[in-house]
A and B are shown apart, each in its own frame.
Chain A
Amino acid sequence: MIDAQSSAAAIAAAVRSGTVSARAVLDATLARIERHNAELGAFTDVVAARAQATADAIDRKRAAGAPLGPLAGVPFAVKNLFDIAGLSTRAGSKINRDRPPAESDATLITRLEAAGAVLVGALNMGEYAYDFTGENAHDGPSRNPHDRAHMTGGSSGGSAAAVAGLLVPLSLGSDTNGSIRVPASLCGLFGFKPTFGRLSRARTYPFVASLDHLGPLARTTADLALAYDAMQGLDPADPVCRPPAVESVAGELGRGLGNLRVAVAGGHFARNGLPEAFAAVERVAQALDATRTIELPEAHRARAAAYVITAIEGGTLHREQLRTRAADYDPDTRDRLIAGAMLPAAWYVQAQRFRRWYQERVMEVFRDVDVIIAPATPSRAPKLGQKTFTLDGVELAVRANLGIYTQPLSFIGLPIVTVPVAQEGLPIGVQIIAAPWREDHALRVAAELEQRGVAAAPIAKDLLT
């Protein structure tokens, strides 16, 4: 039976077999969005007519005996920085609503639809992706489906709320410094940021061009893999997209750990967190029999360099707009972008040089290990509106520090899966980190943890209807 908690894989199998029609799946999805979106703040746009046409076309194809794709009839939604033909790409902002509608879809939407998936809408996000909270001054916050008084995390907050809230089984987000991995951790989802340059970013609104990644969020590893496989491939429209080859992983998930060498990240990744973050890592490490601890050298400096690059590239992107429309920004975004727009070039050059230095040191670590485990967030979801939390006895800003463990890793483009660690209470996740272009390693470990019952996406039972 297909219901609100069905996985993308189960829906696609049912649609292919004719157990359920794509239109029936879609109608149930649209009804759930209508029922629950106001309390979750997940969707900012629903493209019902387009989705109905897509679903009906899939059903006609099946009736004609044509083969259906691996994501046949799977409803999905995208962070509202993806271009959707006919909609203005708002990127969480007020200002972008004045832009003309996009003429065509982002590449990743086109590829998911080519695999049979059905786009149902665009999702809430932190303004211009400069956010770890999921709060938005213009559209209201996305709310954590497991406790609506708490944050989803951001900036892909709507992407997490939609999947954890059982509105869709699959969404896409972006991750510059942690914006897929943080909300995945706080909402109890599997979130996946492939290697920098693996997936096309064409026709999405940028934030920090040298750090931006795109990727999926789902309730199972298998669903991440299905979406990932469908989205891979060169795209001349994104000059950064230079994958070595298309490397399908969905069929590799059952291989188990094999000879993979797994270690736990120490140093920076063993400090500045609450006990629940380290307990989650310990649980995963025990399940994987990972007894070795490694250190990613100078990770705290890497985080600082990522912070500076983010400020300067983001500020530069917005400089012209800040001259004329500064008052139309969310103040929390505006003041950081203004600061970033006027910083000395020397800081940026040194930050990029540090990035090269750090990447080479981390690659040395990957000579001895295949997969590294680290916390995804320093805490469970803070309350909406909460400005600070205390880590290691120091009161710190929530907005800047939810990404304390994600930022040093996306800085050098590593592929990472965040897995939700099965436990009571609000969720928390762990990062499974692999060497560049070894997405298969991270996904295999995530699948193994899921198979052993250590990783599981909790179900918000009050949202099942």
Chain B
Amino acid sequence: MSNDTFDAEKWLDAVAPTIGIPIDPAWRASVITHLTIVQKASELFVDWPFGTADEPAPVFTA
């Protein structure tokens, strides 16, 4: 699941119009910076060797 090929600029150009969020040119660099910061943060856990019990969903009881 490695995400080291993530390209923040390409991601922004593809996703922003897809989900309908307009990006003013004055904001673009800052949004890219934040995308990059989050991507770097995700690298710390995204490939963590989880076990099958490491489920993200809460346990529901009926």
Contacts and interface: CB of A to CB of B under 8 A. Distances in A.
Contacts of A339: 31, 34-35, 37-38
Contacts of B3: 344, 346-347
A338 interface: yes
Contact of A301 (B12, B20, B45): B45
Interface residues of B, number: 31
Contact of B1 (A301, A331, A346, A354): A346
Interface stretch (A137-145, A161-169, A220-228, A318-326): A318-326
Chain A CB within 10 Å, residue with most, of B12, B20, B46, B55: B46
B34 A336 contact: yes
Contact of A357 (B22, B31, B54): B54
Contacts, number: 98
A351 B50 CA distance: 11
Contacts of A319: 19, 21
A95 interface: no
Chain A interface residue number, banded: 35 or more
Nearest to A352: B56
A424 to B, nearest CB: 36
B35 A304 contact: no
B27 to A, nearest CB: 6
A323 B41 contact: no
B4 interface: no
Contact of B42 (A300, A335, A347, A355): A347
B2 to A, nearest CB: 11
Contact of B56 (A304, A327, A356): A356
B44 interface: yes
Nearest to A210: B58
A363 to B, nearest CB: 13
B15 to A, nearest CB: 4
A353 B42 CA distance: 12
A331 B45 contact: no
A389 interface: no
Chain B CB within 10 Å, residue with most, of A300, A331, A351: A351
Contact of B12 (A340, A342, A350): A342
Contacts of A349: 56
A335 B30 contact: yes
A307 interface: yes
B23 A347 contact: no
A339 B41 CA distance: 13
Given A342-B12, A400-B37, 4 more contacts: A307-B41, A335-B34, A339-B35, A354-B48
7 contacts: A304-B42, A335-B30, A339-B34, A351-B45, A353-B55, A354-B45, A354-B54
Interface of B: 1, 3, 11-12, 15-16, 19-24, 27, 30-31, 33-35, 37-38, 41-42, 44-46, 48, 50-51, 54-56
